[in-house]
Amino acid sequence: MDFDRPHRRYNPLTGEWVLVSPHRARRPWLGQVEKRAGEVLPGYDPTCYLCPGNERAGGVRNPPYTGTFAFDNDFSALLPPEPVDPASTGDSASGDAGGLFRTEPEVGVCRVICFSPRHDLTLPELSQAGVEAVVRTWTEQTLSLSQLDFIHYVQVFENKGAMMGCSNPHPHSQIWASGHVPVEPDKERRMTADYLASHGACLLCDLLEAEQRKGERVVAANSHFTALVPFWATWPFEIMLVANRHAGSLTDLNPAEVSGLADILRRVTARYDNLFEMSFPYSMGFHQTPCDGQGYPGWHLHAHFYPPLLRSATVRKFMVGYEMLGMPQRDITPETAAERLRGLSEVHYKQG
């Protein structure tokens, strides 16, 4: 097949398709140009509500933490369950026109994880030990939240950069633990279960073996994790991290794998920053086994990086028009993106 011509690629994790149009990469750009974000940050900001010792909403004051710091989000999108009021009513599947206006309660817990007391250090700028501490905190939080009887899924994610809606530059991530499995991991839950039933094997184990054999979309790897641009990638420089061993959750990782995950996170995010010599924005999150008490033998731990930048530090990818109404579309092929990322140094540009 000629990958230089328009074609569709199938995503076996979601059952969806993406349109690839490589010839459009040559078109002139007359669209929106973003302002390049300022990158000079202090090590400590007295006005930052995430820095050690500073005041947060409601008068709560952060402790003088020296490593990672986790706390319940002061503006949580999810709330723990409350006693049910028998007199309460609401639209439901059984109450209205065959369920056209269905609602159901959602419960959960939202937490914030500060990576470091330093206001100015992102993941690729932290030491190996520093990133290992972040991974261990994600793991500890996943374990403690999954043990709550009303929690069935734990979503660890990071929004980096104002372009991705990050409201504070202090390096941090979030964890939203919910009573239902969210939409995106639920798609993957169904597709991996179907693949296991029809092939007798794990979808991501088979994918990883095929990608390692081809090599053209692999960006970085170590003994425990592989970073690759998915064959079906939607975002220009999208990356997926896949555990080399068939593990389901962060809580399944052994100490060597925690170190391996920290290493691959540092290497991938350093390449991202080196791409346009800037603090590279993205949304990143781990898809791990639901904690609803059911078995998921086909589930395989992985993380998605979705960065918005397209041509430079100031030209971003928009999902509009056909992409909102028809299907996602990309210009540069995943193979081209992987080759470009693979050719970048893993020494952070600020240190090089």
Residue pair 161/280 in contact (Cβ under 8 Å)? The answer is yes
DSSP category for residue 66: S
Buried b (16+ CB within 10 A) or exposed e, 174-197: bbbbbbbbeeebebbbebbeebbe
CA distances from 328 to 234, 236, 319 (A): 6, 11, 7
Predicted confidence at residue 92, as pLDDT, reads: 46
172 flagged as catalytic:
yes
Query: Which residues, in sequence order, are CB contacts of 89 under 8 Å at separation 6+?
Result: none
Predicted confidence at residue 36, as pLDDT, reads: 60
Q: Is 174 helix (H, G, I), strand (E, B) or coil?
A: strand
pLDDT per 10-residue tile (average), the chain, 352 residues: 86 97 66 61 96 94 98 96 69 62 96 98 97 98 98 97 86 97 97 98 98 97 98 96 98 98 98 94 97 95 94 82 92 94 93 71
**For tokens 């600020």, what's the residue?**
350
* CATH architecture entry for 44-82+92-342: 2-Layer Sandwich (3.30)
Report the Cα–Cα distance between both ends of the chain, in Å, rounded. 40
DSSP category for residue 161: S
Predicted confidence at residue 342, as pLDDT, reads: 96
Residue pair 117/123 in contact (Cβ under 8 Å)? The answer is no
Residue pair 128/269 in contact (Cβ under 8 Å)? The answer is no
HSE-up of residue 154 (Cα within 13 Å, Cβ side): 23
CA distances from 135 to 95, 152, 237, 249, 300 (A): 45, 21, 23, 12, 17
Dig out the tokens for 98 from the structure.
Answer: 């065959």
Residues in the chain: 352
CA distance 299 to 295: 9
Q: Which amino acid is at 104?
A: E
Predicted confidence at residue 30, as pLDDT, reads: 45
CA distance 268 to 124: 8
Among 172, 224, 300, 302, the active-site one is 172
Claim: this prediction has a pTM higher than 0.95 = no
Buried b (16+ CB within 10 A) or exposed e, 71-109: eeeeeeeeeeeeeeeeeeeeeeeeeeeeeeeeeeeebbb
- The domain spans of the chain are 44-82+92-342
Strands annotated E in the chain: 7-11, 16-20, 69-72, 108-114, 153-160, 172-178, 218-221, 225-228, 239-243, 282-287, 302-306, 309-312, 315-316, 329-330
SS (H, E, C) 180-241: CCCHHHHHHHHHHHHHHHHHCCCHHHHHHHHHHHHCCCEEEECCCEEEECCCCCCCCCCEEE
For β-strands 172-178 and 218-221, DSSP reports them as unpaired
